[in-house]
Structure 1
Amino acid sequence: MNRFYQLTLALAALLFSSVAVAQTQQGNIMVGGDISNFNLNFLGGGGGTTFQMDLTPKVAYFIRDGLAIGGYGRLGLTTAKGAGTQTSYGIGALGRYFVEDRRVRQLEFSKRSRFFVEANAGFGGSNNSASGASNNGLDLGVGPGVAFFITPNVSLEALLKYELTVGFGSATTSNRLNLGVGFQIYLPTARAKQILKEERSK
């Protein structure tokens, strides 16, 4: 247990150190996720409660400066009295590119902010327990976002994505515009491996 605490403290120190290490540098790892479609509505008069939320964890590796590829998962839940429970899901690959164009960078509202474009492709869909409505198949998404680095290694983000599911079910096509907020942690892999190796040798 003591080693677990030591490892946790070492990783925390890594997150808030190394200011000189670029967040989007080749070889870094991005870990985090988004929350979208959050809604909690208490309906009076016996109407019950409506709840909705999507969680999308992500992990990606920077294959070169500003360009990361990796994977994502998505799990969504919507419940409403009389309408059943609708679950949505997705899993696949993602790519993220941090814009380096000087004309775009001039639009950034702070030296700590970065614009990016993210795209994903995988398998996903949604299913309703009451109505039986479903749509499952190819899961696609693309859209712009902005990351604001609250520390050199942690960012708060907003991402607006157009999402499309094409496949089979009661509906063969589903498309939506999704605004999500979340956070990402950027880890320099060389330093992370060194810390892990030092902790294991103790």
Structure 2
Amino acid sequence: MKKLILTGIIAVAGLTTTANAQIQKGNWMVGSSIVASNFGLNTGGGYNISLQPKAAYFIEDNVAVGGYVDLGFNKVAKGSPTNFVYKVGALGRYYVSPGEKGVDNLLNHGRWFFEGNVGVGGTSTEGGNSTTGLDFGAGPGYSYFITPNIGVEGLVKYNGVAGFGNEGLTSTLTFNVGFSIYLPTSKGKQVINDVK
């Protein structure tokens, strides 16, 4: 019985500390949003499915900077024109530490974060409006670590494209679900060496 209790305490302590290890200075985050639902804030907005790969490097504990690509399509209803989305740019994330003022993590195995991005992007509707220009977005998210190095994420985000085309500003509110892999730099080098 003592061994069982001791094993349980060690397991809980290990899982609690692993939520901090992934987001330390020098680590990498690589991931993608797999499912994205889009609630248009402009006339003609609708449902969106896209693939959004991203990668970031932790320049400080809890602070990551990197890049993203977004390729997707939108079809409001049967018979409606297809809307293509394309974006590329820089992103930043700040992970909230447990115990910060006004913050209480829901689970010991996860972290709240805030993500912002800026880049170049656009939308093009088949036979209709198009916008190309400055792509920007910001919003809160939560990463739940199912293993010490893999997190399942949810992100609610405002996205906008301001620039040239038929519409000066296209804006949406999205809910994204995806995953991220967190790797220490030494593990990343080991993977690269294994591939070579």
Structure 1 residue 89, shift from structure 2 partner: 1.0
Answering whether residue 192 of structure 2 is matched by residue 193 of structure 1, we say no
1:181 match: 177
Structure 1 residue 105, shift from structure 2 partner: 7.5
Over 4 Å off, 4+ runs: none
Residues 105, 114 of structure 1: 8 Å contact kept: no
Deviation digits for residues 117-169 of structure 1, max 9, x if unmatched?
00000011111113x21111100001111100000000001101111111011
Structure 1 residue 188, shift from structure 2 partner: 0.7
SS at match of 1:110: coil
CA gap 1:177/1:32 in 2 versus in 1, 3 angstroms: same
Number of aligned pairs? 171
Answering whether residue 139 of structure 2 is matched by residue 115 of structure 1, we say no
Q: Which runs of 5+ in 1 are unaligned?
A: 1-18, 40-49
Residues 105, 115 of structure 1: 8 Å contact kept: no
Partner Cα distance (1:29, 1:174) in 2: 32
CA gap 1:101/1:87 in 2 versus in 1, 3 angstroms: same
SS at match of 2:21: coil
TM-score (norm 2): 0.79
Partner Cα distance (2:195, 2:55) in 1: 23
CA gap 1:67/1:133 in 2 versus in 1, 3 angstroms: same
Of residues 180-189 and 79-88 in structure 1, the stretch that sits farther from structure 2 once superposed is 79-88
SS at match of 1:193: helix
Q: Which runs of 5+ in 2 are unaligned?
A: 1-17, 40-45
CA gap 1:175/1:199 in 2 versus in 1, 3 angstroms: closer
TM-score (norm 1): 0.77
2:36 match: 36
Answering whether residue 81 of structure 2 is matched by residue 84 of structure 1, we say yes
Partner Cα distance (1:76, 1:61) in 2: 25
CA RMSD of aligned residues (A): 2.4
How do 1:90-109 residues align onto structure 2 when only pairs under 5 Å count? 90-100=87-97, 102-103=99-100, 106-109=103-106
Structure 1 residue 174, shift from structure 2 partner: 1.2
Which residue type is aligned with residue 194 of structure 1? Q
Identity across the alignment (%): 43
Partner Cα distance (2:101, 2:36) in 1: 26
Structure 1 residue 192, shift from structure 2 partner: 2.9
Structure 1 residue 106, shift from structure 2 partner: 4.7
